[in-house]
Chains A and B, each alone.
Chain A
Amino acid sequence: MEERPASTLSALEYDPAPESAGLARLREGYGLFIGGAFVEAADGATFETINPATEEPLARVAQAGEADVAAAVAAARRAYDKVWRKTTGAQRSKYLFRIARLIQERSRELAVLESLDNGKPIRESRDIDVPLAAAHFFYYAGWADKLEHAGFGPDPRPLGVAGQIIPWNFPLLMAAWKLAPALAAGNTCVLKPAETTPLSALVLAEILQQAELPDGVVNVVTGDGSTGAALVASPVDKVAFTGSTEVGKVIQRRLAGRPTRLTLELGGKGANIVFDDAPLDEVVEGIVDGIFFNQGHVCCAGSRLLVQESVAEDVLHRLRRRVDQLRVGDPLDKNTDVGAINSAAQLEKIRELTAWGEREGATRYTSPCALPERGYWFAPTVFTDVAQTHRIAREEVFGPVLSVLTFRTPEEAVAKANNTTYGLACGVWSEKGSRTLWVAERLRAGVVWANTYNRFDPASPFGGVRESGFGREGGRHGLEAYLDV
C-alpha cells in the first residue's frame, strides 16, 4: 500500500465514482414537440448541444423558427379550446400525478442527462433537481381540483395559452416550475428551454406522451434567443420568463400595451448576512451552499457575504479551508462538489467580472484545486476587501465567485444588503430569533433563509422584488400567475 501523510487533508484522495453516461440514453437528434408529436423544424434547422465538461457534442436539436413557434402556439390554442378547458380539475390532477410518478421512475436517466447537458454535479441533479421536479408536479397535481379554495375567489379561470421561457441553470426543474402550476390551473403551454440545455425538457415531453397528456397541451420549442423572441411576439395569453434582468426588461417592454399577462423571475445579488453569534461551522457550510451550489449558476445565490467585523477573520479563515476542499471536476462523479461552467460564453463573463474585481482593488483568493484540461471550468473564488461600488458587488456574476463585505451593526447590515437594484434572496445567520426576524422584516427580498441557504420546496413561494422580477412560483401563491384573477 502506498504511504500517505495522514496529517494533510489534501493527500486524502477519493477514487473516482462516476455514474454511467449511458444511463442518459442519449439520441443523436431531438425534434420539437408540437401537438403531441416530435417533429423537425419547418426549415430543417438544427443546432448542437454540447457537454460543457468535455466540449464534446451530445446531440443535434431542432432550432425552432417563427413558423414552428406559430405551429406550437396554434397547437396549444387548439388543445385549450377543444380539450383542456373542458377537462375537469380532477382529471388534470391525475395527469399531473402520473407525470410526477414517471419523473420519479426515470429519475436516474434524467439526472445523468441533466448533468451531461448542464455540467452540474450528479449529486445535485440526482438529489435536488430531479426529485424537486417530481415533487413540484405532485404538489400542483393536488391543486388542480381545488382551485376554488385557493383564495382567488369562487370561480378562478385559467388564462389560456402560456408561453414559458426557462434558463439553463436548472433545466428540468424550471420546466416543472413552469408547467405544473400552469397545467393545474387549466392552461396549455408552449415551453422554450434554454439553448445550451434543451435535452431534459425533451425527455420530459416523452414522459408527457407516456402519461397520455392530450396532444398540444404542452409543446416544447427548442432554439436560441430568436425562438424566445418569437414566442413573446406570438398571440399567447401569458408569458412567464426566468432569466436575466436585461432580457426580462426587454420582454416587459415588448408586452407593454398588450393584455398578455407577465411574470418575471430575474437576476439577483443575494446578501448572506453573518452575525457574530452564529455557529461558525454551520455558517461556513451555509456560505458554501449559498455560492458554490450549482457552480454559482443560481439567481438567488448568496453572492455577497456580509460578515460582522468581529468574526470576519475567523469566518474567512474557516471558509478558505473549506473552499480548498471543494472537489471540482467530472459532473458525473458522485464525489464532485462543483461541476463545469455551463458554456464558454458564461465562463468568459465570469472571467471578465473577476478580472474587474482585481482591477478595482479587491483581494482574490482562488482554490488551488486542479481543473480538467478540457471543458469549461472555474475554480471557487473568494474576493475580500470588496467595496459596495465594485462591479463584483453590484453585478450578478452567476458563477462560483463570492464577494465579502463586513458590517458592524444590524442597521448597517440591512442597509448594505438592500443596496442593490435586485431583491431576490438573502440569508441571515444568527442564534438570536428576534434579531433574525428584525433583519428579515427589513430586507427587500422575496426569500429570506435564516440559518440555511438555497432551500427550495414546491410549497414555498419563490420570486423577487424590485428588479429581480414579479410573480411567485411555488405554493398557493404560484397559482396566481396562471389564473385570471
Chain B
Amino acid sequence: MSERLDVRKTYKLLVGGAFPRSESGRSYEVLDAKGRFLANVAQASRKDVRDAVVAARSAQRAWWSLTPYNRGQVLYRLAEMAEARGRELAEQVGRAEGIRATEARATVARSIDRLVWYAGWCDKVAQVLGGQNPVAGPYFNFSVPVPSGVVGVLADQASSLEAFVDAVAAPLAAGNTVVALASETRPIPAALLGEMSATSDLVPGALNVLTGRTGEVAPVLASHEDVDGLDLAGADDVFAGELAALAAETVTRVLRGADPQDRGLKRLRAFVETSTVWHTIGP
C-alpha cells in the first residue's frame, strides 16, 4: 500500500467575508524560519487592497451599529475559535517564528487572552474615554468616543500572531473596521485568524486580511483616500516615513510604536475620535 499523499493548503486572502485567491491569481512561497517550504500563500494585488477597503467601508456602519455588548460577544467568539484551533495556531507560529513548541503555545495563549481583553473593552470604551463635560452654561454637554472608520494595519513583520492580534483587535473593539496586511514572510498565523473570524459572527468585511509583498501593497493602503487610520507597526523607520507622508494627503491618523504587550490604551485610543454634543437645557 502506498503512503497517503497529504492534501496541501494554499492560504487565501480574506476580503469582505470571502476568501479569494487574489484577483491577480498570484501566490508566493512562504518558508519557515529554517528556510524550508511551508505553504503557498495568495499574493494580494493593489486591486485586492482597494477591494478590501471598499468591503471595510461598507461593513463599518454595520459593525458600529451593533450594540457594544454584541461586538464584545463577537470578539469573544473569535477567542473561542482561536482556542479551539490553538494547536494549529501554535504549530504555525512555531514554524514561522522558529521558536520551541512550548514558547509557541505560550504565544498563542497570550494572543487569545489579548483578544478576550479587547472583547471586554467594547462596552467600556465609551465610559472610560467619554463622559459629561461641565460647561459654564445651560447645556448638557457630553463626549463620546466614536471610531475613526476604516483602519489600515501594516502588521508587525516578526511577531506573526501576538502583535497581529493586538493591532487588529484594538481598532475592532473601538468600532472600526480593518484592512490588515499580514507579515510578508510569516503570514500564516494571521491568515488562520482570518479564517476563524469568518465563523465568529464578525460582520463580513469588518476584518480583512491580505497576504503579499508589503512593499507593493502598503503604499496603496497608506494613500487610499477612504482609509481613516493607519497602524505602521510593520514598517521600518524609513518605510514608515514614506507611508506616513502618503497618509498625510488625506490627514489620515498614523500610529507608530504601540507595544502589543502594553496594558495601556494607546492602541485603543489611536483610532477613536471624540465627538462632543452640546444640547440646550430648558424647561
**Interface residues in chain A, defined as those with a beta carbon under 8 Å from any beta carbon in chain B:** 135, 151, 153, 245, 248-249, 252-253, 256-259, 264, 266, 421, 433, 436-437, 440, 443, 445-452, 455, 457, 459-463, 465-470, 472, 475-477, 480, 485
Contact = CB atoms under 8 A, between A and B. Distances in A.
Contacts of B238: 257
Interface in B231-269: 237-238, 240-245, 247-251, 253-254, 256, 264, 266, 269
B70 interface: no
Nearest to A427: B278
A455 B128 contact: no
Contacts of B129: 151
B278 A485 contact: no
B251 A151 contact: no
A173 to B, nearest CB: 15
21 contacts: A249-B248, A253-B248, A256-B241, A257-B237, A440-B277, A443-B275, A446-B275, A448-B276, A448-B278, A450-B277, A450-B279, A451-B280, A457-B137, A459-B136, A459-B141, A460-B141, A466-B251, A475-B133, A475-B143, A477-B274, A485-B264
A449 B251 CA distance: 24
Interface string B73-104: 00000000000000000000000000000000
Given A256-B247, A264-B251, A457 B241 contact: no
A457 B141 contact: yes
B148 interface: yes
B70 to A, nearest CB: 16
A436 B245 CA distance: 38
A256 to B, nearest CB: 3
Of residues B139, B241, B254, B279, which shows the largest number of chain A Cβ atoms within 10 Å of its Cβ?
A: B279
A83 B136 CA distance: 34
Interface residues on B, range: 35 or more
Interface centre among A245, A259, A459 (most CB of B within 10 A): A459
Contacts of B273: 446, 465, 470
B135 interface: yes
B283 interface: no
B278 A460 contact: yes
Nearest to B241: A257
Interface string B135-168: 1110101010010100000000000000000000
B35 interface: no
Contact of B250 (A259, A457, A467): A467
Main secondary structure of the interface of B (DSSP, over half): mixed
A466 to B, nearest CB: 7
B231 to A, nearest CB: 14
Contacts of B137: 455, 457
B126 to A, nearest CB: 12
A33 B183 CA distance: 50
Contacts of A477: 143, 274
A470 B276 contact: no
B245 to A, nearest CB: 4
Contact of B280 (A151, A448, A450, A480): A450
B215 interface: no
Contacts of B244: 252, 256-257
A258 B241 CA distance: 7
A452 B139 CA distance: 9
Which 10 pairs across A and B sit closest by C-beta, in order of nearness?
Answer: A257-B241, A256-B244, A252-B248, A457-B135, A256-B245, A253-B248, A450-B279, A451-B280, A465-B273, A448-B277
Nearest to A135: B136
B228 interface: yes
Contacts of A440: 275, 277
A460 B245 CA distance: 31
B90 to A, nearest CB: 32
Contacts of A475: 133, 143, 276
Contacts of A252: 244, 247-248, 251
Contacts of B25: none
B278 A452 contact: yes
Given A151-B128, A257-B238, A257-B245, A459 B251 contact: no
A153 B243 CA distance: 30
B132 to A, nearest CB: 9
Interface string B15-41: 000000000000000000000000000
